[in-house]
Structures are given as structure tokens and as C-alpha cells.
Amino acid sequence: MNVLVVEDDPTIAEPLADGLRRRGYDVVVVATGAAALQADGVDVVLLDLGLPDIDGYDVCRQLRATSDVPIIVVTARGDETDRVLGLELGADDYIVKPFGFRELVARIRAVTRRVAPRSDDRPRRAGPLELDPRTRRVHLDGREIELTPKEFDLLAVLMEEPGVVVSRRRLAEDVWESGWYTHSRTVDVHVGALRRKLGDPAWIETVRGIGFRLGRTP
């Protein structure tokens, strides 16, 4: 997912971008409204209001006039009138600085789900492996695989982008809804159980020190 961070303060922009990249996001940082309006291929915008060239509200208005991209206003302006104005101009969400990073990531996921809920429900396939989020069923070579709810959710995340590395931290957040898991081996234990049920450990590859990815079709 491509995140555009529109923030002119590098002491805020750089740590924010680094944190998002560690969660697996592709991040572009711009410091002006003009640069934000010229950006392409963006999946979600984190928009500060206090920009040096164009007022953030105007940027929000212009982005919404030409695109359905999710916009989250990230600002120090916390008055109710500011919130209402931002939302009326087309922002999908509004978060006030200082904010918790986990909360921001949760809001990013929420707005992207609202914008494209159907894409999350589409059946996912990797060779003979098929997963249907609507029925919560998994088939391998036409045979249904019985998974626990957490095993299913874990496989669903890995199958979003086969071959792409997914960090343990992201798996913990998406599957267990936790910034980090209570027991350090929780993800590893569930991956092990999932490998056994799929019948071949090559389905899920370990990337040492980072996480896991759905491997090549065995």
C-alpha cells in the first residue's frame, strides 16, 4: 500500500515514515500542498493542515474533487470546528497530534477497508490453494482444509500478496489486534500449525529476523 505523508516538519515526517515502512507500507513524504496534489499512485493520504504554501483544507478540497483516495487529516488543530470542517471538505478521518502510532495504523486500515470493502472479500488464490473470505473456507487441490479462526486470518494476510514478506508485528496487529503479542512465539506457533495442515512447509517461508511470506507453489 502506498502512503503519502504530507508534512513539512521533518521531526514528525521522518519518524512517521520510518514507522510505516517497518509495518510494510511504501511511503512518500512531501512537504508542500503543491507536491501533494501532483502525487500519483497513492492509496491513502496523511495530510497535515499547516503547510507552507497551501492551506491543508484547500489541499483536502482539491484532492477530493479529483480523487476518491482516502484522506486522514493529521494535525495539531483539535477544535471541533476544525474537525467538522475537515470532514465536510472530504476527509475520511481526522486525528489530532500527538497521537499513538498504533491508533494511526488502525485508522489507515479502517479507511482503506471502507473505501474498497469488496476487494477484501474477493477469493484469493495461489496455485492450488484457494481462500474465500466470505465463506471462510480454504481449499487445497480441491480438498477443504479445516483451520482455526486465527489460522485462517493468518493465511488470509499472507495471501493478500503472495511472495511479499509480512512482518511478525503486522501479523500480530492484523490477526491478534495487538501492537505486539503477549508471547513472543505466538505467531511462530500458529505458522507451524498452518504449515502442518497445508502439508508442506514450503507454503510459508520464514524470512529470518523479519517475518513470513507465502512461498512458491510446492
Q: What is the pLDDT of residues 135-181, one digit of tens each?
A: 999 999 999 999 988 899 899 999 988 888 988 888 887 787 554 44
Interval 38-68: pLDDT, tens: 999 999 999 999 999 999 999 999 999 888 8
Domain boundaries, the chain: 2-115, 120-214
The pTM score is 0.58
Cβ neighbours around 81 below 10 Å, total: 8
- One CATH from 1.20.1440.230, 1.10.10.10, 3.40.190.10, 3.30.565.10 for 120-214: 1.10.10.10
Structure letter (DSSP) for residue 54: S
Question: What angle in degrees, to the nearest 10, is found between the helix axes of 149-158 and 168-175?
Answer: 130
CATH no. for 2-115: 3.40.50.2300
Alpha carbons 191 and 10: distance in angstroms, whole number: 38
